[in-house]
Amino acid sequence: MQTPAVKGPHQSARHAPDSKLELMLFKLGNDPKTGQQEIFGINVFKVREIVVAPPLTSIVNSTQHMKGLANVRGQLIPVIDLSAVAGCTPQTNMGIVLVTEFSRTTQAFMVDEMLEIVSVEWKNVQAADNTASGLVSGVARIDGDKPNGRLVQVLDVEQILRNVFPEGHGPADDHSGLPHISMPPGAMVMCVDDSSVARLLIEEALKAMHVPYVATKHGKEAWQKLEGLAAQAQSQGKRTRDLVPLVLTDLEMPEMDGFTLTRNIKQDPRFSGMAVVVHSSLTGKASEGHAASVGADAYLSKFAPRELGETLRDTLERMNER
């Protein structure tokens, strides 16, 4: 029997403007503390398709919250019980599954109820605190400045995957084969990512390559730090690129997204000659092309340490030749 499905938005929709985030909204059931049904969301461009009640095969000795495997058009996809991960009690028996693609992997999340797709300006997405064990990367005000408007918890899928599959989504112990990158004295790479898991993986790789770095949690924090470094460089008679020759940035971030950060860097003469490498869980030519249109020097998908190292090395060499 063929599984009913809805084509994923990222297969047909145009990429969202870089000043906005397209969110697919859903509910996971009743919250154990309040009894209310909160609204959650993930980037719509990570969703390949929506499958209704696919047959699941339970896997012996599988990890907690792993519902089983679904055979979706010949591809075996692990299905994660997102309600259980969030500690919510489902109120329906619909068995809706979101098949997602990002960070070079395919996985599915079972949710309780689908809602809608909304477009939110990045200025209305605030960084979350650490009260949810890192499962929430941001909170979106989807009604803008409207009083008592709805709030959406934007899930940190990378953290969720690490919790469910710790062996496959934690720091890599083997960094053999990574290039040794020599940096001028006083120079460092700035990495920008709102996911604590992604920052940990990036930092482990940079350490293995002997690359000095500074880590920031979103584009706004990175921009403020860059402005401070620009003033420092000017007082020392240096260029800002002498202090930070390369910025490694994610795309989806609260406060300021990676597209805006990249454009700001490339349009500001204080940061002339500074390279920007986009490191994103979003896959596809649309995201890559959009990053290039705002000036990104390179684009790679998370997370392959060796490819990351080669991209950083090659980009720095090209920038030094200019």
- Percent of the chain past pLDDT 90, that is, above it, reads 50
Report the alpha-carbon distance of residue 312 to residue 202 in Å, rounded: 12
C-alpha closest to that of 97 among 85, 83, 79: 79
Grouping H, G, I as helix, E, B as strand and the rest as coil, residue 191 is strand
CA 220-217-207 angle, 5° bins = 130
- Who's near 132: CB < 8 A, 6+ residues apart? 153
Residues 223-250 have pLDDT tens digits of 999 999 999 999 999 999 999 999 999 9
Q: Higher-confidence residue: 215 or 168? A: 215
For position 15, what pLDDT does the model report?
45
Residues 67-111 have pLDDT tens digits of 999 998 889 999 999 999 999 999 988 889 999 887 678 899 999
Pick the CATH number of 189-321 from 3.40.1390.30, 3.40.50.2000, 3.30.60.50, 3.40.50.2300: 3.40.50.2300
First to last CA, the chain: 59
CB contact at 8 A, 194 and 252: yes
Quote the pTM value: 0.76
C-alpha closest to that of 279 among 121, 129, 102, 134: 102
For position 4, what pLDDT does the model report?
47
Q: How far is CA 254 from CA 19, 137, 184, 217, in A?
A: 11, 8, 32, 9
HSE-up of 235 (CA within 13 Å, CB side)? 6
Residues 132-187 have pLDDT tens digits of 567 888 899 999 888 889 999 999 888 888 888 876 554 554 677 788 998 989 99
N residues, the chain: 322
pLDDT (mean) for 301-314: 90
For position 114, what pLDDT does the model report?
93
- Cβ atoms within 10 Å of 237's Cβ, excluding its own: 7
Beta strands in the chain (DSSP E): 5-7, 20-30, 37-43, 47-52, 56-57, 66-72, 75-81, 96-102, 105-111, 113-121, 125-127, 136-141, 151-155, 189-192, 213-216, 246-249, 275-280, 298-301
Strands 105-111 and 75-81: parallel
Per-domain residue ranges for the chain?
5-164, 189-321
C-alpha closest to that of 168 among 177, 158, 176: 158
Architecture of the domain spanning 5-164: Beta Barrel (2.40)
* Residue 284 pLDDT class (50, 70, 90 cuts): low
Residue 238, token pair as written in the block: 């240096």
* Residue 11 pLDDT class (50, 70, 90 cuts): very low
For position 174, what pLDDT does the model report?
60
For position 56, what pLDDT does the model report?
92
Residue 307, token pair as written in the block: 């490819």
CA dihedral 203, 209, 213, 217 (to 10 degrees): -30
C-alpha closest to that of 191 among 61, 280, 110, 72: 280
What does the mean pLDDT of the chain come to? Answer: 86
